[in-house]
Structure 1
């Protein structure tokens, strides 16, 4: 394969938020432009998702919650817990983004690797959203791949700095979806849930410590569970200068992590669907650079 298939929709960055809001909505468009400019991705290999079908959401989420979010009738407390003010733009963005991860998983199963330029909504639970996450794209993509008989078992390998608490609760009844979260013990959410595998690392975790854990845990999980697909949340909020992260990981450390994950998946011949996950900084160029490490790693190792 001579290219990296990827998924992107313009709605990802078309969300008007107050200037004081900490969510960097521009980062998706910035990364897309950066990737094309530096030939990390190529426009002819972009796939554009359609809005997800509500029936697919109902398979993972409470139908009443789904309807209330889409129709804008969630109560103020529930909407506030999500972290975004409700708008038609938010609904449009959400429905395209969640389906984008489904599409990314399909592309990975077909081509061996694929990247989604958003995704990683791991704080979304059965009947409520939290922490900028509305519907859990990771679990939906895993369930869809299994239901379509394209995989018997899927590993969600979550390297965002925050625990994937929604993924943990949503996969507890699904023995064919394995959840692993490698996160900061002292970070959001304050009340952790039980993933199949939780790796709690302390504040100030360094490159060498972090990479040692990746090197050990991912091959172990592959041997133990023998997944047919890995959905990888490549959050960069592990960075030492991230606004919401408490780790001490360098930009080089992010690249090394991504290279490790990709090389381990490739060595075991397991398709890898990567989402860019969390990353928070007022410095847009810095944030783009951090997220682009995933694309650099993919180009170096997969092509």
Structure 2
């Protein structure tokens, strides 16, 4: 979770077509069918469910919370948008299939023509990045927003990895990854809860985390929730941010082969509830991105969490 404060001497925001006029009727929930990644079945070689975003939407539709007309359609981030954070050199590196194979951790991708990689892999990532940027504006305008994709927190301005090719969180804020980007920026306060033996594994990036919750293997609901809620309360007592960027990963789920924790589906739902309650109580806009999680059940859990937030009136079409 990142908390952001403005500073008067900041430059004017980058002009972009990613911000566009949204009627008041749609939910500030951002999605595009272009988020989902399918290419020759190679996506199945990675434990991440690269079609989970569409599944979340389908679950929400089944519950009649949303339909195609009541959510915001994300647009693809263009090179000018990406250059706000990324270097031209880094974007050029993505024209090499081997580099993208390393970032996605699917090595057969290295043998595919790059124009296929651009269309089938990087375009979905760029569209999710555009979705995060749009959701950031919606959160400021309406009090909250959820990008059903995004949360590419392993990517920094000059390096991708961990299935993250673009630094969408950094791009959304600037107008291991984003932690490196905000190392010396005292406008951004980072709170992170993680398995101390796995993430971030980057001692340099770890220095940028102001509030740390370092967890042991197989940490369960009661300990996890108590620590997260206590530290969020402490953080918001010390700083009143202009916006909370909430990286709501589900890799904490019991059985996740990469997370190493043991939080239940209900524990994830309660965590999201606690973060949104804190935002509401403190009257702080909140942007949620769905981030990582490496089990097929995560789409259902994310949808159930969003439904719970709505049931509790922590989200509605407009909160401010």
Aligned to 2:216: 202
Match of 2:28 in 1: 5
| 8 A Cα contact 2:103 2:165, kept in partner | no
The alpha-carbon deviation at position 112 of structure 1 amounts to 1.1
Q: Distance in 1 between matches of 2:185 and 2:78?
A: 21
TM-score by length of 2: 0.80
Native 8 Å contact 1:4 1:115 kept in 2: no
**8 Å CA contact 2:26, 2:71 repeated in 1:** no
Is this contact kept in 2: 1:263–1:301, CA < 8 A? no
Matches within 5 A, 1:136-175: 136-144=167-175, 165-175=176-186
Matched, 1:293 2:315: no
Q: How does 1:58-207 map to 2 (within 5 A)?
A: 58-69=83-94, 72-73=95-96, 76=98, 79-84=101-106, 85=109, 87-88=117-118, 89-144=120-175, 165-192=176-203, 193=205, 194=207, 195-207=209-221
Task: Tell me, in whole angstroms, the C-alpha distance in 1 between the residues paired with 2:66 and 2:231.
Answer: 29
2:245 aligns with: 231
Query: Partner of 2:58: helix, strand, or coil?
Result: helix
- CA change 1:268–1:143 in 2 (3 A) is same
Question: Which protein has greater RCO, CA pairs closer than 8 Å, 6+ apart?
Answer: 2
Tell me whether 48-57 or 245-254 shows the greater mean CA deviation: 48-57
Q: TM-score, normalized by length of structure 1? A: 0.85
- Shift, 1:188, TM fit: 4.2
Q: Is the 8 A contact 2:103 2:164 kept in 1?
A: no
SS of the counterpart of 1:45?
Answer: coil
Inter-partner Cα distance in structure 2 for 1:83 and 1:20: 9
What CA distance in whole angstroms lies between the structure 2 residues aligned with 1:248 and 1:137?
28
Tell me how far 1:142 sits from its aligned partner: 0.8
The Cα shift of 1:5 comes to 1.9
User: Secondary structure in 1 aligned to 2:287?
Assistant: strand
Quick check: 1:275 aligned with 2:289? yes
1:55 is aligned, of 68, 80, 87, to 80
How many Å separate the matches in 1 of 2:134 and 2:309?
18
Instruction: Give the corresponding residue for 2:65.
Output: 40
2:259 maps to 245
1:24-59 CA distances to partner (integer Å, 9 max, x unpaired)?
111111111111111233432211122213233222
Q: 1:198 to 1:63 in 2, by over 3 A?
A: farther
* Secondary structure at 2:69 match in 1: helix
Which residue pairs with 2:16 in the alignment? none
| Counterpart secondary structure, 1:198 | strand
- Given that 1:121 and 1:277 are in contact with CA atoms closer than 8 Å, whether structure 2 keeps it comes out as yes
What value does the CA root-mean-square deviation take over the aligned residues?
2.0
The answer to whether the Cα contact below 8 Å between 1:262 and 1:297 also exists between their aligned partners in 2 is no
Give the direction of change, closer, same or farther, for the CA distance of 1:81–1:49 in structure 2 (3 Å limit).
Answer: closer
The count of residues paired between Structure 1 and Structure 2 equals 277
Q: Is contact 2:152-2:168 (8 Å) kept?
A: yes
Structure 2 segments unaligned to the other structure (5+ residues): 1-23
The corresponding residue for 2:229 is: 215
CA contact (8 A) 1:254 1:293 kept: no
Tell me, in whole angstroms, the C-alpha distance in 2 between the residues paired with 1:277 and 1:293. Answer: 16
- Pick which of 128-137 and 214-223 moved more: 214-223
| TM-fit CA distance, 1:78 | 6.5
- For 2:185 and 2:80, the matched residues in 1 are separated by 18
Shift of 1:13: 1.1
| CA distance 1:11–1:298, shift in 2 (3 Å) | same
